[in-house]
Amino acid sequence: MTTTFEGPVQFAAPVTAQTDQGDQSVVIDPIGGNVSATGNISAGGTVTGQTVAASGGLSAGGDATVGGNLTVTGDITVGGQISGATAAIGAAFVRSWTTVAPPNDLAYENVIWAPGLRLFVACATNGTGNGIITSPNGTDWTTRTPAADREWRGLAWSPQLSLLVATATSGTGNRVMTSPDGITWTSRTTPEDSAWTSVAWSPSLQLFACVAFDGTNRVMTSPDGITWTARSAAAANPWLEVVWVEDLGLFVAVASTGTLDHIMTSPDGITWTARTTPANQTWNRMAWSPSLALLVCVSTNGTQRVMTSPDAVNWTLRQAAAANEWHGVKWSPELRQFVAVAETGTGNRVMSSPDGINWISRASAADVQWVDLAWSPQEAVFVVVSRTGTGNGLMHSL
């Protein structure tokens, strides 16, 4: 059933469209300003309401303006602008996914979007001369030759330096490489042969910070990606990821094991402080939402496999959408959605949340080990990488 409005429509009261013996009838209740339909909502002009809900799709030739929530099961097609209820709108963009064949079936570990290059860059922990791949859109990928064949795990982009940095968990004296374009890579000397798992750039500090899974000093920093200095971590934990949170003025790192000290923070990359976590679980990766002022961290085990924090100090456990091994999580400011991906699960290795608290399972395009993802605001797409798969080790949102 389709409810069609030929011109601009503004609802000052709730409107319910339904089918009555093959003819559509519209019932107006003078309380509120809601729009709901059991089928599609279609307007040649604009659609305006306090809340809009459709079990089908929403189509408007002009603008769609919603004061409250927009809930649409099907597609959203708007000729003008969409304003309001961006969380619900964003959920529509992370509902469908498709796989992409990478140039090589490798164990991809990390992917980032470098906005200055308008390029996705992904790295693998294996391969011979092909451990880096790049794409301008998440669909078309090209193999790039790394500076050395290493277990490449960490990636970061510095807009100020126009520089990519990759870190590795193998190699002798050269577990970092840099690139200005994602194509040509140069080896850099590292102060220790630790398993460097993750690297992050701080724009305000003009500093890279890198964390390690093992080693004597499990942190190192660099102002330029070339010269690195070893630093002491807050604890000898296996650190898996580090992020910079500009709003908090902190580097935040997460470890897979520990004794209720899986998080450490630093205002300068040099001095680190251990933070108490609510559960001893295999915490993997984190994402920060500036608009929600919230950090989200995901885990591969435990009863509650998500934890959130407004300050990186005080953490609260949350329920994941499914008991999968959640490994990667990212925030899209444009969609106002957290999206997480998992290594396990049956057809449900993606979940999303508008607030980091309430999570919804999403159908994944393939049951492979999805470990990391990146969002491109320019391309309006999420890209996900996997450690496994044959011709389907990459995935992107539709």
Main-chain phi, psi angles of 91, to 5 degrees? -60, -30
Domain end among 58, 84, 110: 84
> Does residue 292 fall inside a structural domain?
yes
> Does residue 238 fall inside a structural domain?
yes
At 87 the three-state DSSP class reads: helix
The pLDDT value recorded for residue 164 is 98
Answer yes or no: are the C-beta atoms of 138 and 100 closer than 8 Å. Answer: yes
The pLDDT value recorded for residue 47 is 58
The pLDDT value recorded for residue 89 is 55
Please check whether residues 47 and 164 belong to one and the same domain. no
In tens, the pLDDT along 123-144 reads 999 999 999 999 999 999 999 9
Question: Domain span at residue 308?
Answer: 97-397
Domain end among 84, 110, 136: 84
Residue that has been written with the tokens 């935040």 in this structure = 252
Please check whether residues 293 and 152 belong to one and the same domain. yes
Please check whether residues 61 and 195 belong to one and the same domain. no
Please check whether residues 148 and 180 belong to one and the same domain. yes
The pLDDT value recorded for residue 73 is 52
The pLDDT value recorded for residue 94 is 77
Q: How many domains does the chain have?
A: 2
CATH at 238: 2.130.10.10
66: which strand partners? 49
Please check whether residues 167 and 265 belong to one and the same domain. yes
The pLDDT value recorded for residue 36 is 60
> Does residue 91 fall inside a structural domain?
no
The C-alpha atoms of residue 38 and residue 17 are separated, in whole angstroms, by 7
User: Terminal CA-to-CA distance of the chain, rounded, Å?
Assistant: 25
Q: Is a pLDDT exceeding 80 seen at residue 292?
A: yes
In tens, the pLDDT along 297-356 reads 999 999 999 999 999 999 999 999 999 999 999 999 988 999 999 999 999 999 999 999
Kindly state the percentage of the chain with pLDDT values over 70.
Answer: 77
Kindly state the percentage of the chain with pLDDT values over 90.
Answer: 75
Helices (H), the chain: 86-93
The pLDDT value recorded for residue 18 is 44
Q: How many Cα atoms sit within 13 Å of 234 on the Cβ side?
A: 23
Encoded amino acid at 280, one letter:
N
The pLDDT value recorded for residue 225 is 98
Domain end among 37, 53, 84: 84
Please check whether residues 355 and 265 belong to one and the same domain. yes
The pLDDT value recorded for residue 2 is 46
Please check whether residues 105 and 210 belong to one and the same domain. yes
In tens, the pLDDT along 373-391 reads 999 999 999 999 999 999 9
In tens, the pLDDT along 357-377 reads 999 999 999 999 999 999 999
> Does residue 92 fall inside a structural domain?
no
**Mean pLDDT over residues 188-203, rounded?**
98
Please check whether residues 268 and 227 belong to one and the same domain. yes
Please check whether residues 60 and 186 belong to one and the same domain. no
> Does residue 275 fall inside a structural domain?
yes
The pLDDT value recorded for residue 67 is 54
The average confidence (pLDDT) of the chain is: 87
Please check whether residues 31 and 148 belong to one and the same domain. no
In tens, the pLDDT along 53-106 reads 655 556 555 555 555 555 555 555 555 555 554 555 566 667 789 999 999 999
Please check whether residues 101 and 59 belong to one and the same domain. no
Please check whether residues 56 and 146 belong to one and the same domain. no
Could you tell me the pTM of the whole model? 0.82
> Does residue 90 fall inside a structural domain?
no
> Does residue 14 fall inside a structural domain?
yes
Q: Is a pLDDT exceeding 60 seen at residue 179?
A: yes
In tens, the pLDDT along 223-245 reads 999 999 999 999 999 999 999 99
Answer yes or no: are the C-beta atoms of 352 and 94 closer than 8 Å. Answer: yes
> Does residue 383 fall inside a structural domain?
yes
Angle at 51 between CA 356 and CA 331, to 5 degrees: 25
